[in-house]
Amino acid sequence: MQTEQRFVPITIFNGKLSPAEALVKHLREHHDLRFTDIAKLLNRDQRGIWCTYKASQKKEPTHIPLDPHHILFPVTLFSDRNFSILEHIVIHLREKYGISEISKLLNKHPSTISTIQTRARRKQP
């Protein structure tokens, strides 16, 4: 596996896939990574990555459309298991954006974003 920094666009997270499914599907199909490499990057079990990818294929059999000129997240952000993938996204975006802007970017209700932010704050030291 190459040690280069990889990034994922925010647009992969606003579809019908769960954040984990979208992330794994993107890394597998757009970065051509093996399941073992994805598992190492995300600090997760290889078998769980495989199951997540198979579930994503059932929900979304085609490639996720990309907008590379949009907000990008480093993949290493998601290796911290203290927070969920969506919590990492919201924490990262709250540095520059408000709740309503984040909800539009992720195609989620503002109260959902607010709840995620509250849960993430409770987990922070």
Q: Residue 2 domain-assigned?
A: no
**Residues 68 and 101 reside in one and the same domain:** no
pLDDT of residue 98: 95
What mean pLDDT comes out for the span 114-121? 95
Is residue 93 scored above 70 in pLDDT?
yes
Range of the domain at 12: 8-73
**Residues 66 and 105 reside in one and the same domain:** no
**Residues 90 and 58 reside in one and the same domain:** no
Per residue in 20-68, pLDDT tens? 999 999 999 999 999 999 999 999 999 999 999 999 999 988 887 776 6
Q: Render the chain in DSSP notation, one character per residue.
A: ------EEEGGGGSSSS-HHHHHHHHHHHHS---HHHHHHHHT--HHHHHHHHHHHHHH--SPPP--TTS-EEEGGGGG-TTS-HHHHHHHHHTTT--HHHHHHHHT--HHHHHHHHHHHHHH--
Is residue 69 scored above 70 in pLDDT?
no
Q: Residue 1 domain-assigned?
A: no
Q: What is the pTM of this model?
A: 0.88
